[in-house]
Amino acid sequence: MINPTVKLVQVTDCHLQNDPSQLYRHQDVETQLDQLLTHLNSTLPEETLLLLTGDIVHHGGADAYRRLTVKLESVPFDTAWIPGNHDDTALMQACGERLNRRVIQARDWCLILLNSTSEPDGRGSGALGQTELAFLRQTLDEYSHKHCLIVLHHNPVSVESGWQDPIMLADADQFWELLKDYRQVRGIICGHVHQEWRWQYQGVDVMSCPASSVQFKKRCDEMTLEDMPALQAPAYRLLELSERGEIISQVKRFNLADDQNISSV
């Protein structure tokens, strides 16, 4: 019998350096991503869709994007990516080809991939802007018969953090106002915060995913790296989208030392 669910895996905030030997906040994020992709390849079914949700490359280096596209050839998953505030959108569009899809139809679902890097404030903030909001409205009109999952980098909900809330999605109010007209939106996934969250907001299941690179401690006034060992590991989010519009999801944390999942939350 064919399984009617749509299987997704979200990997986010890889922060690859243009020089792969360069560390990011003291971590070898290149090796972490390699090991994570190998792990996903050995544990997830081939029909899984891999979503890379921004801050893929730390300073938008061309070499890093090219290396990543080669890495992705070694996994069987159909893959798509969106930019974060640290990415170079033009480079991604130039070298990503099929990775740059904006709308993906999968069974009873429509995935809408948004670019939230408009109007940057230089500190990490980003917005959808009028063009992207118009694209969202047009796409939701077109796919009114589908369950919809929205994919974007910046969190549209507060994480109660003095340094992170000023750099959340800048036009979140307009985004949520628009969504009031569309009851078919079941879920929203984002990156950016390097933390796990799950909210019900305006009746929508909103989820953030910890990073594949480093994690940030919750509820801090200044940027603070996570110091709890159980929460420091590189992580990813699994999602299953049912034909009835339900979302089953969990975050997995990946222990690089022994190639095991050490916890799921």
Q: Please list the residues that pair with 114 across neighbouring strands.
A: none
Residue 155 is given by DSSP the state -
Work out the angle between the directed axes of helices 62-72 and 29-43 (0-180°, nearest 10).
Answer: 20
Residue 252 is given by DSSP the state E
> Would you mind telling me the total number of residues written for the chain in this entry?
265
Q: Please list the residues that pair with 198 across neighbouring strands.
A: 207
87 CB burial (10 A radius; 0-12, 13-18, 19+): buried
Judge whether 188 and 8 are in contact, CB under 8 Å: no
Q: Least distance (Å) from Fe ion to the CB of residue 9?
A: 18
Residue nearest to Fe ion (CB): 55
Q: Which is nearer to Fe ion, 30 or 55 (CB)?
A: 55
Considering only the stretches 9-17, 103-111, 164-172, 178-186, report the one whose residues sit in contact with Fe ion under the rule CB under 5 A: 9-17
Q: Which is nearer to Fe ion, 175 or 216 (CB)?
A: 216
Q: Least distance (Å) from Fe ion to the CB of residue 213?
A: 7
Q: Least distance (Å) from Fe ion to the CB of residue 251?
A: 16
H or E stretch at 30: helix 29-43
Count CB neighbours of 243 within 10 A: 12
Considering only the stretches 10-18, 36-44, 58-66, 159-167, report the one whose residues sit in contact with Fe ion under the rule CB under 5 A: 10-18
According to CB under 5 A, which one of 14, 50, 55, 136 is a site residue for Fe ion?
Answer: 55
**What is the Cβ-side half-sphere exposure of residue 117, based on CA atoms within 13 angstroms?**
19
Asked if 226 touches Fe ion (CB under 5 A), the answer is no
Considering only the stretches 7-15, 59-67, 148-156, 180-188, report the one whose residues sit in contact with Fe ion under the rule CB under 5 A: 7-15
Q: Least distance (Å) from Fe ion to the CB of residue 39?
A: 21
Q: Please list the residues that pair with 238 across neighbouring strands.
A: 9, 250
Considering only the stretches 21-29, 42-50, 55-63, 87-95, report the one whose residues sit in contact with Fe ion under the rule CB under 5 A: 55-63
Judge whether 213 and 161 are in contact, CB under 8 Å: no
Asked if 13 touches Fe ion (CB under 5 A), the answer is yes
Q: Which is nearer to Fe ion, 13 or 196 (CB)?
A: 13
Q: Least distance (Å) from Fe ion to the CB of residue 65?
A: 16
The site for Fe ion, by CB under 5 A, has a size of 2
Q: Which of residues 187-216 bind Fe ion (CB under 5 A)?
A: none
Q: Point out which residues bind Fe ion (CB under 5 A).
A: 13, 55
